[in-house]
């Protein structure tokens, strides 16, 4: 097992980031403002309108692989939905356009045969993720909010579990093309994009894992 340190609301936010900088993409997905000063995790979450238990639950899960049942009992499904909806916006409005722009800059004119398919694969991936996100925003999220408010619902969590698929496949194909066939005399930019693509793939996977392993159990416990 790992030696993950459990952070609490009274720990320093800067200490948390210094402990494991892999938290940075998560902080982005929370849209947490920088400028932490001496503030604790609790202070920063409160100022940003984020439930600190929801924050810690997600942090422990992503950084330490710990899915804390006791913490989960104290977290509202709507707070996880808020994080997930914010993450959708982050991927679609910021992360994907950023990677696409860098991908265009990394293309080598000498690879004019392959270049169009590289952009096509990337756009196909974004379109697939967008459809996946929109489905959750139209069906899953409103269902959970209604359930929490005790309002009538027309969707159910089993339907979500059955259809929740893996969206990162086109990214694997894109990485394969670049790694196997993209000989370029100026590779530095393309190496940078590859790092972005690998990180993005891991972030999308972690997003899906939070839906499956944190959100679904919370909703299941609400209806049982
Ligand atoms: Fe999602
Ligand atoms: Fe999803």
- Alpha carbon of 33 to ligand 1 centroid (Å): 22
Q: What is the DSSP letter of 179?
A: H
Question: Do 196 and 89 reside in the same domain of the chain?
Answer: yes
Q: Quickly state the pLDDT bin for 1 (edges 50, 70, 90).
A: very low
- Alpha carbon of 113 to ligand 1 centroid (Å): 34
Question: Do 180 and 210 reside in the same domain of the chain?
Answer: yes
Total count of domains within the chain? 2
Phi and psi based region of residue 123 (left: phi greater than 0; alpha: psi -120 to 50; beta: remaining): alpha
- Alpha carbon of 204 to ligand 1 centroid (Å): 8
Question: Do 69 and 81 reside in the same domain of the chain?
Answer: no
Residue 48 CB coordination number (10 Å)? 12
Non-local (6+) Cβ contacts of 171 within 8 A are: 125, 197, 200, 201, 204
Its domain, for residue 204, covers 77-223
Q: Quickly state the pLDDT bin for 168 (edges 50, 70, 90).
A: confident
Question: Do 32 and 137 reside in the same domain of the chain?
Answer: no
Q: 18: buried, middle or exposed (CB in 10 Å: 19+, 13-18, 0-12)?
A: exposed
Non-local (6+) Cβ contacts of 120 within 8 A are: none
Q: Are 158 and 106 in contact (CB under 8 A)?
A: no
The whole-number pLDDT of residue 170 equals 77
Residue 170 CB coordination number (10 Å)? 18
- Alpha carbon of 197 to ligand 2 centroid (Å): 18
- Alpha carbon of 43 to ligand 1 centroid (Å): 27
Instruction: Give me the sign of the Cα torsion angle 49, 52, 53, 56.
Output: positive
Is 6 inside a domain boundary? Answer: no
- Alpha carbon of 79 to ligand 2 centroid (Å): 16
Is 215 inside a domain boundary? Answer: yes
- Alpha carbon of 92 to ligand 2 centroid (Å): 13
- Alpha carbon of 67 to ligand 2 centroid (Å): 18
The whole-number pLDDT of residue 3 equals 67
The interaxial angle of helices 52-64 and 77-89, nearest 10 deg, is 70
The 10s digit of each residue's pLDDT in 16-59 is 999 999 899 899 999 899 999 999 999 999 999 999 999 999 99
- Alpha carbon of 208 to ligand 1 centroid (Å): 6
- Which stretch of 134-148, 160-174, 200-214 has the lowest confidence by average pLDDT? 160-174
The 10s digit of each residue's pLDDT in 178-206 is 999 999 988 999 999 999 999 999 999 99
- Alpha carbon of 208 to ligand 2 centroid (Å): 5
- Alpha carbon of 30 to ligand 1 centroid (Å): 13
Question: Do 182 and 136 reside in the same domain of the chain?
Answer: yes
Is 3 inside a domain boundary? Answer: no
- Alpha carbon of 102 to ligand 1 centroid (Å): 24
Question: Do 199 and 121 reside in the same domain of the chain?
Answer: yes
Is 130 inside a domain boundary? Answer: yes
- Alpha carbon of 133 to ligand 1 centroid (Å): 5
Average pLDDT over residues 159-174: 88
Question: Do 65 and 83 reside in the same domain of the chain?
Answer: no
Q: Are 170 and 207 in contact (CB under 8 A)?
A: no
Is 178 inside a domain boundary? Answer: yes
Question: Do 58 and 95 reside in the same domain of the chain?
Answer: no
Question: Do 32 and 82 reside in the same domain of the chain?
Answer: no
Pick from 163, 123, 157: nearest CA to 141: 157
Question: Do 52 and 95 reside in the same domain of the chain?
Answer: no
Question: Do 37 and 143 reside in the same domain of the chain?
Answer: no
Is 90 inside a domain boundary? Answer: yes
Q: Of 27, 51, 73, which one is at a domain's C-terminal end?
A: 73
Residues with CB under 5 A from ligand 1 (ion): 136
Average pLDDT over residues 114-132: 94
CA dist 79 → 53, 82, 188 (Å): 9, 5, 40
- Alpha carbon of 85 to ligand 1 centroid (Å): 7
The whole-number pLDDT of residue 5 equals 79
Task: Measure the N-to-C terminal CA separation of the chain; round to a whole number of Å.
Answer: 32
């Amino acid at each position: 097992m790992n030696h993950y340190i459990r952070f609490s609301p009274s720990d320093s936010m800067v200490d948390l980031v210094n402990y494991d900088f892999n938290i940075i993409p998560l902080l982005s997905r929370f849209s947490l403002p920088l400028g932490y000063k001496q503030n604790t995790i609790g202070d920063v979450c409160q100022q940003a309108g984020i439930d600190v238990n929801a924050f810690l639950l997600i942090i422990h899960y992503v950084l330490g692989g710990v899915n804390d049942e006791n913490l989960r009992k104290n977290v509202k499904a709507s707070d996880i939905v808020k994080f997930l909806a914010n993450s959708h916006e982050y991927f679609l409005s910021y992360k994907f356009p950023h990677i696409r722009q860098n991908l265009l800059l990394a293309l080598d004119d000498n690879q004019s045969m392959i270049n169009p398919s590289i952009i096509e694969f990337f756009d196909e991936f974004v379109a697939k993720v967008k459809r996946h996100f929109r489905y959750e925003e139209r069906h899953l999220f409103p269902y959970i909010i209604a359930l929490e408010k005790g309002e009538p619902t027309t969707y159910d969590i089993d339907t979500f579990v059955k259809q929740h698929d893996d969206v990162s496949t086109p990214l694997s194909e894109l990485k394969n093309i670049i790694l196997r066939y993209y000989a370029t005399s100026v590779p530095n930019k393309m190496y940078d994009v590859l790092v972005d693509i690998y990180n993005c793939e891991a972030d999308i996977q972690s997003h899906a894992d939070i839906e499956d392993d944190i959100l679904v159990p919370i909703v299941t416990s609400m209806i049982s």
